[in-house]
Amino acid sequence: MSASQHYEMFKMYYDKAIEYKDKGDMLSCKKFLLKAVEKLIESAKESDGSVKRSQMLRAKSIIEIAEGIDTTARANSPSSGGASKSAKPRNNDGGIENQEGGGDDGDEGNEFLASGETGITFDDVAGLQEVKEAVKNRILLPMQYPEYYKMVDLKAGGGILMYGLPGTGKTMIAKAIASEVGGNFYQIKCSDIVSKWFGEAEKNLKNLFAQARSHDRAVIFFDEFEAIGVKRGGDSSAMNRIVPELLAQMQGFGDSKGTLLILAATNRPWDIDSALLRPGRFNELLYVPLPDFEARKYLIGRKLKDLVLSGVTIAEMATETDGHNGADCNELCDRLKMCVLRELIENKSQEMLPITRQHFDEVIGSTGSSVLSSDIQSLEKFEQDMRKNK
């Protein structure tokens, strides 16, 4: 059976679990959740790259929910008129309602907490000058010169969708934006949201946007955005309900009393519903490429700034890590530090020992790049198609 076939069966079992949850039959809900997980894992095994990682993470989160379900809760049978309020699932021990944010009447939804200062600035983001310039024009200039934007009847805020390979700095850019604008930062991981919301997505989306709009300045950052912004029309009734609510909330940018910025990141932009890519939702689509030579040189140099080099330079390391993402560069530097640490311990040295060419050759030969060429080709093709359509 192919990955797509396994995934279709996963969606079928998952939607079935939602139906039983809505009826209050938590025993059947748990049964179909576990069936869904089995199919999702099978799909992940037949996949690779970011798809495999995303599916395995989602499987893990669904398992955690299934394990916390109180299976003694059961609704009235359909023949008795459906689930009554008294037959709703109990929440004795951290069961599913607690994870979903549902109250006794089921209409409150989750509370979302904003973080304060992120501590990240654009100086911490290596390279990506085009991305920084686009962010500056779209977000920072309206903050600095509101009177001019008012004169020409343009509003600050809006949406920016960043797409690119994992480990290219999309999350750091989002945190830097929040820091630059001095806004409350809501970091939302969509793979957790989909399973946690589990039928409560619309309520929680309303709550999230209402809380963000209550601030003078706020930034909502959706990570793994394809998990909730996926194209409609499939068999998943949950996804077909989430996207319209998301569209409605994003259409209401102007309803906030202050400035509300919506940022999202994805590794699979072709999976995003086309309605989300229209003006009024995500006005700016930014490709975040792999770090170039200067960016890799900056990353490695900053990571190794307190160490001594012998027989190898930062520039040589940057040259030989072509095709690595930011996470790969960080991993390489950590392993180089471990080489020095082992020798310090073995030699009981009182002075810092250098990172040598031998260390570097050993580490880069055993790590390499985690980037798949097929993923690069897919993203570059999407980028080219987007440029043609502008």
- Range name among 109-113, 177-181, 203-207, 214-218 with the lowest pLDDT average: 109-113
Cα(20)–Cα(66) distance, rounded to whole angstroms? 13
Q: ∠ CA(296), CA(333), CA(133), 5° rounding?
A: 30
Q: Which residue has the tokens 């750091």?
A: 172
Cβ–Cβ contacts within 10 Å for residue 387, how many? 9
End of a domain among 47, 73, 99? Answer: 73
pLDDT the model gives residue 90: 33
Q: Are residues 186 and 304 in the same domain?
A: no
Structure tokens at 188: 């939302």
42-46, 121-125, 149-153, 333-337 — most confident range: 333-337
Cα(27)–Cα(153) distance, rounded to whole angstroms? 56
Give me the domain span that covers residue 355. Answer: 293-370
Residue type, 151: M
Q: Are residues 329 and 248 in the same domain?
A: no
Q: Are residues 264 and 317 in the same domain?
A: no
Q: pLDDT tens for residues 60-113?
A: 778 877 777 766 544 443 333 333 333 333 333 333 333 433 333 344 555 565
pLDDT the model gives residue 156: 61
Domain-embedded: residue 378: no
Q: pLDDT tens for residues 283-323?
A: 788 888 888 898 899 889 989 988 999 999 999 999 999 98
pTM higher than the cut 0.75:
no
Structural contact between residues 6 and 12, judged by C-beta atoms closer than 8 angstroms: no
Q: Are residues 138 and 181 in the same domain?
A: yes
pLDDT of residue 275 exceeding 70: yes
Domain-embedded: residue 386: no
Q: Are residues 301 and 275 in the same domain?
A: no
Domain-embedded: residue 33: yes
Q: Are residues 265 and 299 in the same domain?
A: no
Decide: residue 261, CB within 10 A, 0-12 exposed, 13-18 middle, 19+ buried: buried
Domain-embedded: residue 255: yes
Domain-embedded: residue 79: no
Cα(187)–Cα(192) distance, rounded to whole angstroms? 12
- Range name among 49-53, 152-156, 290-294 with the lowest pLDDT average: 49-53
Q: Are residues 61 and 151 in the same domain?
A: no
Q: Are residues 234 and 353 in the same domain?
A: no
Mean pLDDT across the chain: 76
Decide: residue 132, CB within 10 A, 0-12 exposed, 13-18 middle, 19+ buried: middle
Residue type, 360: F
Q: pLDDT tens for residues 157-175?
A: 568 898 988 888 888 888 8
End of a domain among 13, 47, 73? Answer: 73
Structural contact between residues 78 and 101, judged by C-beta atoms closer than 8 angstroms: no
Strands annotated E in the chain = 158-163, 184-189, 217-223, 259-266, 284-287, 309-310, 355-356
End of a domain among 237, 256, 290? Answer: 290
Whats the size of the chain, residue-wise? 390
For 42-60, b where at least 16 C-beta lie within 10 A, e where not — what string? bbbebbebbbebbbebbbe
Structural contact between residues 219 and 261, judged by C-beta atoms closer than 8 angstroms: yes
Domain-embedded: residue 90: no
Q: Are residues 310 and 245 in the same domain?
A: no
Cα(31)–Cα(43) distance, rounded to whole angstroms? 19
11-25, 177-191, 239-253 — most confident range: 11-25
Domain-embedded: residue 85: no
pLDDT band at 236 (very low <50, low <70, confident <90, very high): low
Structural contact between residues 222 and 190, judged by C-beta atoms closer than 8 angstroms: yes
Over residues 350-362, the mean pLDDT reads 91
Q: Are residues 263 and 133 in the same domain?
A: yes
pLDDT the model gives residue 82: 36
Domain with 211 in it: what CATH number?
3.40.50.300
Domain with 34 in it: what CATH number?
1.20.58
Domain with 313 in it: what CATH number?
1.10.8.60
pLDDT the model gives residue 79: 35
Measure Cα distances from 17 to 29, 202, 273, 335 in Å: 4, 18, 24, 44
Three-class DSSP category at 336: helix
Cα(297)–Cα(313) distance, rounded to whole angstroms? 10
pLDDT the model gives residue 390: 62
Q: What is the CA radius of gyration of the chain?
A: 24
- Range name among 88-102, 135-149, 240-254, 268-282 with the lowest pLDDT average: 88-102
Q: Are residues 281 and 306 in the same domain?
A: no
Domain-embedded: residue 92: no
Structural contact between residues 135 and 97, judged by C-beta atoms closer than 8 angstroms: no
Q: Are residues 169 and 243 in the same domain?
A: yes
Task: Please count the structural domains in the chain.
Answer: 3
